[in-house]
Chains A and B, each alone.
Chain A
Amino acid sequence: MKQYVMGNGAIALGALAAGVNLISGYPGTPSSEIIETVHKFPHEGVHLEWSVNEKAALEVAASAAYSGARTLVTMKQVGLNVASDPLMSLAYVGVKGGMVIVSADDPGPISSQTEQDTRRFADFCRIPVFDPSSPEEAYEMIQDAFEYSEKYQTPVLFRPTTRVCHAYASIDVDISNGPKSYEGFVKDSSKWVIFPRLSYANHGKIEARNVTIGEDFSTYRYNTSEGTNSTKAVIASGVSYEYAKEFMKSYPDYKLIKISTAFPFPEPFVLKELEGVSEVICIEELSPYIEEQLLRVVGKHHLALNVSGKLNGLVPHNGENSANQVANILSSFLGLENNAQSIDLSDMPSLPVRPPVLCAGCPHRGSFYAVKVAMKGKKAFYCGDIGCYTLGNAMPLDMVDTCLCMGSGVTMAQGFNWTHEDAQCFAFIGDSTFFASGITGVVNAVYNDANMILCVLDNSTTAMTGHQPHPGTGINLMDNIVDKVDITKVLEGLGVKKIITVDPLNLKASVDAVNECASIKGVKAIIFKSPCIAITKPTGKMTVDSDKCINCKKCIREIGCPALITIDGNVTIDTNLCTGCGLCSQLCPTEAIGGKK
């Protein structure tokens, strides 16, 4: 059956084709559509879940893999940081059923905090990693990954990058076999309980095994070589291989080597392919991983080989590669002509910058604005966190002073409390982030007697990553309606003294709530509760009464809703964007804005 699917869809369908039994993960761009695809396709007999975070996802899958089941875990690259504690240990213990951990890297970065490289993580954990270059390849390679995982009884990493995850191709798919049968867990504490003695013994075995895997990978079907002219060669991996191929298709003689398994490094294969080559360039993204492996091989075997790439400045360290940039690099490295020609744009007018912003009608806008109004003229610090609400940093709200990683806002507000006892310290956290990694931070605040105001921005969804359900929504991926985990009750149970729930689109009530919390010592919480407009389909509209409007532009200057625009200098509401949230009408000094909510 031919399917036109995204790379992430190809990964999902490949896992189903491999007979996967359990899939867990936590949303994160560019990985989220893997689990969403499984949810849309037939997958009877497969346990599917959005876990509360990546660590939970990996642990759920680990014991299932101890049972002999095939398991898939999905996350974005920074999710692997969260899951790294169980992963490091699991690498020593190993698995019985095939376990593939997809960690999607994001060169650019396009939608991420870091430009980390999952291949380094694989090396650090001493487990194999697969690096597909296209959706077509991803569909096949994920099935190989399950085979290798079972063959060597180890979890394996699979790391696509954004341009593979979000590219579409048409793929021949067969998922008719359904999930595999498996033996079940066989108790053996000498195998499944990690102890120093076990780690010592397994460490030695793992290093020996990795040499074998490096040899095995030397004949792996996606470690390939094309072209015979071998004075200069190109080595590429992932989507960079496709960029290189786009240029080199006109020069098929030149040697192009693709490495799809960076760790364990397929040394015999690379040695053979580089025979007679005197100069090689590595085209890869994120870190110079393959380049460093080559330098190691050059040293070990005393090769007369010049290695170029990121380390000698021919390829940039940061950002993503692109077809034209790779064409430029290769044409100068190989001394070939680059035929690409585009229109001369040297006289281009300056373009409007377009940073991402909160949607028109986003309830987060009201939450930030209420705190801003209440704290006007007072000393306050605003610790942000990861989600759509990070966009509260943009002008004119300017309400995010720090943002580090998921869940960090709650605890960072406490640090500021200890260094600035005269300031009000706020933490803004989304509902999904609260469940993922905010709760322990609240325990820390209660236990250590901090003064802080926790603002939970409860929009009933995980918006930034594409509106996935979470424990507060009462819907899970087995399509069961379950009890909602109630944020208020959680906070009460943790010992938070003052908890106020308020509608952020009610400006006065929200400002009052902030003021009330600010007057009390200890850990206080405001739950700003109003759904994301993308899951509610609002139909109201507001309009500006031009007779009443004095054109002071306070609405535009204060809240920056994208629906508030000026046409010929007059304030107008773009009815294509306005959701009728009514926030602007509550701050207009002449009550010129009205309409249907």
Chain B
Amino acid sequence: MNKDIMICGVGGQGTVLASKIIAAAAMDEGNAVHSAETIGMAQRGGSVTSHVRVGEAYSPLIPYGSADLIISFEPAEAVRNLIYLKKDGIVITNSVPTKPVTASISASEYNGVEMVNYLNTKCKVITVNSDDVCSEFGSNKFFNIAILGVAVGSGRLGISKETILKEIEARVPAKFIEVNKAAFEAGLKIGESYEA
């Protein structure tokens, strides 16, 4: 399999765990995998990206116009990274915005709607509302696993549900395995409803 998958969001949202699970699962299925993470200053609330390249790859970062799938934890971050998407690629994005402090101070009305609308004019988009999917789990910190479920359900990730679940179990603390699995299943349903 040859696939470029980008995961993006805001520092602190748990994108790194999501990308590690995808990379590990792709490897479990016998693929060569390269990936790259944003580590450093940007992890404090800045824009962060993870690049996962399955199959033959030289550059650790996905070249522009080459990602098959963008998984975004924040609507504006999906737009910011859209340049990486293939012409027939797909975006799975959280519709709930993370308002930067600068926007709160200037009382800007950034609410993400414009971003989602723009994405819809450009490519196939699946939107997920993190507040809605995570409400039953009491915290948005399970969103990273839920959105993985959406990606698997959409059929665009190219990795089986079982392999991803196995990696989730291996990588989250024991006492959170059940809730993470539930978050994954919730996402899976949303993804499947978009399939086609």
Which residues of A line the B interface, CB within 8 A?
Answer: 4, 6, 29-30, 110-111, 134, 162-164, 166-170, 239, 242-243, 245-246, 249, 322-324, 327, 340-343, 345, 348-349, 351-359, 388, 391, 394-396, 464, 466, 553, 556-557, 560-562, 564-566, 569, 576-577
**Cβ of A134: which chain B residues have Cβ within 8 Å of it?**
60
**Cβ of B10: which chain A residues have Cβ within 8 Å of it?**
354
**Cβ of A577: which chain B residues have Cβ within 8 Å of it?**
12
Do the beta carbons of A29 and B64 come within 8 Å of each other? no
6 chain-A/chain-B pairs, Cβ below 8 angstroms: A4-B24, A6-B37, A166-B38, A167-B36, A323-B61, A566-B107
Do the beta carbons of A242 and B110 come within 8 Å of each other? no
**Cβ of A340: which chain B residues have Cβ within 8 Å of it?**
63-66
Do the beta carbons of A359 and B44 come within 8 Å of each other? yes
The smallest beta-carbon distance between A397 and chain B, in angstroms, is: 10
Do the beta carbons of B47 and A354 come within 8 Å of each other? yes
Do the beta carbons of A352 and B37 come within 8 Å of each other? no
Do the beta carbons of A4 and B39 come within 8 Å of each other? no
Contacts A354-B45, A560-B101 known; 5 new A-B pairs at CB < 8 A:
A169-B34, A352-B100, A357-B101, A562-B101, A565-B104
**Cβ of A246: which chain B residues have Cβ within 8 Å of it?**
57-59, 63
* Residue among B24, B57, B61, B99 making CB contact with A163, cutoff 8 Å: B61
Assuming A29-B39, A556-B105, is B83 touching A342 (CB within 8 A)?
Answer: yes
Tell me if B46 is interfacial: C-beta within 8 Å of chain A.
yes
Do the beta carbons of A565 and B99 come within 8 Å of each other? yes
Tell me if B33 is interfacial: C-beta within 8 Å of chain A.
yes
Complex CA distance for A246 and B79, rounded to whole angstroms: 25
Closest residue to B140 on the A side, CB-wise?
A576
Do the beta carbons of A341 and B87 come within 8 Å of each other? yes
Complex CA distance for A412 and B44, rounded to whole angstroms: 27
Do the beta carbons of A342 and B64 come within 8 Å of each other? yes
**Cβ of B79: which chain A residues have Cβ within 8 Å of it?**
348-349, 351
Segment touching A, from B115-123, B146-154, B155-163, B183-191: B115-123
* Residue among B63, B83, B99 making CB contact with A352, cutoff 8 Å: B99
The smallest beta-carbon distance between A405 and chain B, in angstroms, is: 16
Tell me if B177 is interfacial: C-beta within 8 Å of chain A.
no
Q: Which of A111, A167, A395 has the most CB of B within 10 A?
A: A167
Q: Give residues 18-37 of B contacting A (CB, 8 Å).
A: 23-24, 27, 32-37
**Cβ of B63: which chain A residues have Cβ within 8 Å of it?**
246, 322-324, 327, 340
Contact with A along B111-148 (1 / 0, CB 8 A): 00011001000110000000000000001110000000
Which residues of B line the A interface, CB within 8 A?
Answer: 10-12, 23-24, 27, 32-47, 57-66, 76, 79-80, 82-87, 99-105, 107-108, 110, 114-115, 118, 122-123, 139-141
The smallest beta-carbon distance between A514 and chain B, in angstroms, is: 24
Q: Which of B11, B43, B59 has the most CB of A within 10 A?
A: B59
* Residue among A166, A345, A357 making CB contact with B45, cutoff 8 Å: A357
* Residue among A341, A388, A576 making CB contact with B141, cutoff 8 Å: A576
Complex CA distance for A388 and B39, rounded to whole angstroms: 14
Assuming A110-B41, A323-B59, A357-B44, is B84 touching A557 (CB within 8 A)?
Answer: no
* Residue among A349, A561, A564 making CB contact with B114, cutoff 8 Å: A349
Do the beta carbons of A30 and B36 come within 8 Å of each other? no
Q: Across chains A and B, which 9 residue pairs bring their CB atoms closest together, nearest first?
A: A111-B40, A342-B65, A167-B60, A323-B63, A323-B59, A356-B44, A29-B40, A356-B46, A246-B58
Assuming A167-B36, A170-B33, is B104 touching A564 (CB within 8 A)?
Answer: yes
Closest residue to A33 on the B side, CB-wise?
B39
**Cβ of A569: which chain B residues have Cβ within 8 Å of it?**
107
Complex CA distance for A569 and B109, rounded to whole angstroms: 9
The smallest beta-carbon distance between B51 and chain A, in angstroms, is: 9
Do the beta carbons of A356 and B82 come within 8 Å of each other? no
Do the beta carbons of A167 and B34 come within 8 Å of each other? yes
Do the beta carbons of B46 and A355 come within 8 Å of each other? yes
Closest residue to B10 on the A side, CB-wise?
A354
Majority secondary structure, B binding face: mixed
Do the beta carbons of B41 and A353 come within 8 Å of each other? no
Assuming A110-B41, A391-B44, is B123 touching A343 (CB within 8 A)?
Answer: yes
Complex CA distance for A394 and B103, rounded to whole angstroms: 13
Complex CA distance for A30 and B40, rounded to whole angstroms: 7
* Residue among A168, A239, A464 making CB contact with B41, cutoff 8 Å: A464
Do the beta carbons of B40 and A110 come within 8 Å of each other? yes
Q: Which of A170, A343, A464, A562 has the most CB of B within 10 A?
A: A343
* Residue among B38, B62, B65, B115 making CB contact with A343, cutoff 8 Å: B65
**Cβ of B84: which chain A residues have Cβ within 8 Å of it?**
342
Do the beta carbons of A560 and B105 come within 8 Å of each other? yes
Closest residue to A108 on the B side, CB-wise?
B40
Complex CA distance for A343 and B72, rounded to whole angstroms: 17
Q: Which of B24, B41, B110, B140 has the most CB of A within 10 A?
A: B41
Do the beta carbons of B45 and A562 come within 8 Å of each other? yes
Closest residue to B97 on the A side, CB-wise?
A352
**Cβ of A553: which chain B residues have Cβ within 8 Å of it?**
107
**Cβ of A323: which chain B residues have Cβ within 8 Å of it?**
59, 61-64
Assuming A170-B32, A352-B99, A352-B108, is B85 touching A343 (CB within 8 A)?
Answer: yes
Do the beta carbons of A4 and B60 come within 8 Å of each other? no
Do the beta carbons of A168 and B59 come within 8 Å of each other? no
Complex CA distance for A345 and B65, rounded to whole angstroms: 11
Do the beta carbons of B34 and A168 come within 8 Å of each other? yes
Complex CA distance for A357 and B103, rounded to whole angstroms: 13
* Residue among A349, A357, A396 making CB contact with B118, cutoff 8 Å: A349
Assuming A4-B24, A359-B45, is B87 touching A342 (CB within 8 A)?
Answer: yes
* Residue among B46, B105, B122 making CB contact with A395, cutoff 8 Å: B105
Do the beta carbons of A166 and B37 come within 8 Å of each other? yes
Complex CA distance for A29 and B101, rounded to whole angstroms: 25
The smallest beta-carbon distance between B66 and chain A, in angstroms, is: 7
Closest residue to B139 on the A side, CB-wise?
A576
The smallest beta-carbon distance between A459 and chain B, in angstroms, is: 13
**Cβ of A466: which chain B residues have Cβ within 8 Å of it?**
39
**Cβ of A30: which chain B residues have Cβ within 8 Å of it?**
39-40
Do the beta carbons of B36 and A163 come within 8 Å of each other? yes
Complex CA distance for A324 and B84, rounded to whole angstroms: 10
**Cβ of B100: which chain A residues have Cβ within 8 Å of it?**
352-355, 357, 562
**Cβ of B87: which chain A residues have Cβ within 8 Å of it?**
341-343
**Cβ of A560: which chain B residues have Cβ within 8 Å of it?**
101, 104-105
Complex CA distance for A313 and B57, rounded to whole angstroms: 28
Do the beta carbons of B85 and A342 come within 8 Å of each other? yes
Do the beta carbons of B58 and A352 come within 8 Å of each other? no
Do the beta carbons of A349 and B59 come within 8 Å of each other? no
The smallest beta-carbon distance between B101 and chain A, in angstroms, is: 5
Do the beta carbons of B39 and A395 come within 8 Å of each other? no
**Cβ of A349: which chain B residues have Cβ within 8 Å of it?**
79, 114-115, 118
**Cβ of B40: which chain A residues have Cβ within 8 Å of it?**
29-30, 110-111, 162
Assuming A4-B23, A342-B83, A343-B87, is B141 touching A322 (CB within 8 A)?
Answer: no
Closest residue to B47 on the A side, CB-wise?
A354
